[in-house]
Structure 1
């Protein structure tokens, strides 16, 4: 029969909670700004492909939306 254990089998190393918080904050920032960049890119592509605005206007749309979204997200 198996031995009966009382308490945790392994307690493991002490957790570095400040490092966990830094990693989580970096993940959230990457997700937030990555989403802003992808949405800006999709809108700029729609402006370029589906209107007669041209490539320069699509690029300007991307830049304006990316910068404006980053400022609003802070």
Structure 2
């Protein structure tokens, strides 16, 4: 019914570890900066909705939070 292979387990092409590490680093950077932007957006929305700053205050808060986040995460 089922076949039991007797050869090596890895039969595909050899791994390109350098490319794998580049992809992993890009994923980590995307997750890190994406999370930072979402948090900055939530803070800006709270500042815009619950303070007297309104829409422009929220945008200004978002820009300041993003700049601070990029500086902090470098």
Specify if TM > 0.5: yes
2:43 alignment counterpart: 43
Q: Flag the 1:4–1:42 CA change in 2: closer, same or farther, 3 A.
A: closer
TM-score using structure 1 length: 0.87
Over aligned residue pairs, what C-alpha RMSD do you find?
Answer: 1.8
Q: Which runs of 5+ in 2 are unaligned?
A: none
TM-score using structure 2 length: 0.87
Please give the alpha-carbon distance, in whole angstroms, between the structure 1 residues aligned to 2:48 and 2:3: 69
- Number of residue pairs matched? 74
Which of the pair has the greater relative contact order for Cα pairs under 8 Å at 6+ separation? 1
User: What are the residue-to-residue correspondences of 1:1-74 with 2, within 5 Å?
Assistant: 5-74=5-74
Q: Which runs of 5+ in 1 are unaligned?
A: none
